[in-house]
Amino acid sequence: MPAWPEPMREIAGLGPADLGEDILNAAAPLVLRGLAADWPMVRAALVSDRAGSDYLRRHYQGATVGAMLGGADAGGRFFYNAQMDGFNFQPVRVRLDGVLDEIEAKREMDPAPTIYVGSTTVDTCLPGFRAHNDLDLRGRDALASIWIGNRTRIAAHYDVPDNVAVVAAGRRRFTLFPPEQLKNLYIGPLDFTPAGQAISLVDFARPDFARFPRFAEALRHAQVAELGPGDAIFIPSMWWHHIEALAPFNVLLNYWWRSVPDYMDTPTGTLMAALLTLRELPPAQRRAWQEMFRHYVFEADAETAAHIPPHARGVLSPLTADGARALRGHLLKKLNR
C-alpha cells in the first residue's frame, strides 16, 4: 500500500508584516496559517463567493487576461491530450469579469467545465488591489500574480523562484516533493509543456502504479497541506508541487522572487545546453564532464582558482554584472555558430 504524504509543518499567529528571514530563506515548505486573515479580499470571500467576486470586480478596469478552458470530462485536470501532441484545454484571451460570470454560472454543475486564469500580474489586472492586500517580503523585488478559477488540478511541477502563495478565496490542497524525488515523479517533456514548466505525468487523483511504480516512493517523501482563505504556504525553489483547487470559486495570490542578482540567468538554460552538448557523449566522457562541473560549479570555493593571479582568472572570477554580460555574449557566439 503506497504511503500517504506527511502533514506539512505549520506556523500560526503571523501577519503580513511578520515574515522573517528564517521563513523567507527556509529550505523546506511551511504553512502559515491565517497569515492574510485580515485582508479585505479574504474577509469578503468568507462572506460568500459572490462577495469575493465583487471585491475583485471593484478593482478591475478592463484589461484582458489569459485563461484556460477545459471540458467537464477532464475532471479539472489541465494536461496533455491522449496523443500527447496537444493539450486538453483551450487557451484564450478574455475579460476577467466574463471569467467571474462564467464561474458563478457553472458553480452548481458537477462535473463542470474548467475555467482558470493563471499567473496574471496583479498590478496590471487589478490596479490598487495590493494597497490593502499584500505581504511585506523584506525588500524582495517579488512578482505578484493572481490565479482564479473553479475546481482545478495543476500537475506537479517546479519553479525556479522561491514562492509565497496566499489563498484569498476557496480551498486548495498542496502536495509537495523535495527536488531529489525528480526520478520518481515521471516528468514529461521539457520543451513541450501545458504552461511553460515540465510536469509530472502521474494523475494524482488516480495514480497508475503499474505504469508509474516509483511514484509510490515519491509519496513516502511527500508533504501535504490543505489551505483555506487567509492561509499561506512557502514553497522553496525547485520543490515539486501539485495544486488542487477544491471549491467552486478559488483565488490565489503568489509572490515569486530569486535571492540572486538580476544579471544571473535561469539554470534552466544550462540544462538545455547540457542536453545539447553532454548527454550523447560516451560514458567515460560524461564522467569526465561530471567531474568538471563538480570542480568548477557544484563544489567551487575560494581554492578553485586561487593558483591563478586575480587579473587572469577570467570567467573563474566572482560573477559581476559586467562579467555576466561578457559571458552571455561569449555563449551567444558559440550557440550561433
Residues found in the chain: 337
| pLDDT tens readout for residues 148-165 | 999 999 999 999 999 999
Least confident of 11-15, 128-132, 204-208, 263-267: 263-267
* Burial (Cβ within 10 Å: 0-12, 13-18, ≥19) of residue 102: middle
| pLDDT tens readout for residues 66-105 | 999 999 999 999 999 999 999 999 999 999 999 999 999 9
Q: In the structure, what pLDDT confidence band is assigned to residue 50 with cuts at 50, 70 and 90?
A: very high
At 160 the pLDDT is: 96
Given a cut of 80, whether residue 4 has pLDDT beyond it is no
Given a cut of 60, whether residue 279 has pLDDT beyond it is yes
Average pLDDT over residues 117-128: 95
At 9 the pLDDT is: 96
Given a cut of 90, whether residue 335 has pLDDT beyond it is no
At 1 the pLDDT is: 54
Cα dihedral: 64, 190, 224, 114 (round 10): 40
The number of CA neighbours under 13 Å toward the Cβ of 161 is 15
Domains parsed from the chain with CATH numbers: 6-257 (2.60.120.650), 268-335 (no CATH)
**Residue-wise burial string across 42-54, b where 16 or more C-beta atoms lie within 10 A, e elsewhere:** bbbbeeebeebbe
State how far the Cα of 259 lies from the Cα of 253, in Å rounded to an integer.
Answer: 20
Percentage of residues in the chain with pLDDT exceeding 70? 99
Place of cell 554580460: 325
Q: What's this model's pTM, rounded to 2 decimal places?
A: 0.94
Average pLDDT over residues 116-130: 96
Given a cut of 90, whether residue 336 has pLDDT beyond it is no
